[in-house]
Amino acid sequence: DAGVTQSPTHLIKTRGQQVTLRCSPKSGHDTVSWYQQALGQGPQFIFQYYEEEERQRGNFPDRFSGHQFPNYSSELNVNALLLGDSALYLCASSLLQGGPYEQYFGPGTRLTVT
Nearer to other proteins by C-beta: 24 or 94?
Answer: 94
Query: Which residues are within 8 A (CB) of 68 and not within 5 positions of it... i.e. 6 or more apart?
Result: 32, 49, 50, 51, 52, 53, 74
The answer to whether 84 contacts other proteins (rule: CB under 8 A) is no
Pick from 44, 88, 46, 38: nearest CA to 67: 46
Q: Mask of contacts with other proteins, 8-47, x by CB under 8 A?
A: -----------------------x-x-x-----xxxxx--
58 touching other proteins, by CB under 8 A: yes
Contact 49, 61 (CB under 8 A): no
Identity at 105, one-letter amino acid code = F
Closest CA to 78 of 109, 40, 43: 109
Of the candidate spans 11-19, 22-30, 66-74, 89-97, the one that interacts with other proteins by CB under 8 A turns out to be 89-97
Contact footprint for other proteins (CB under 8 A)? 4, 31, 33, 35, 41-45, 48, 50, 55-56, 58, 90, 92, 94, 96-97, 99-108
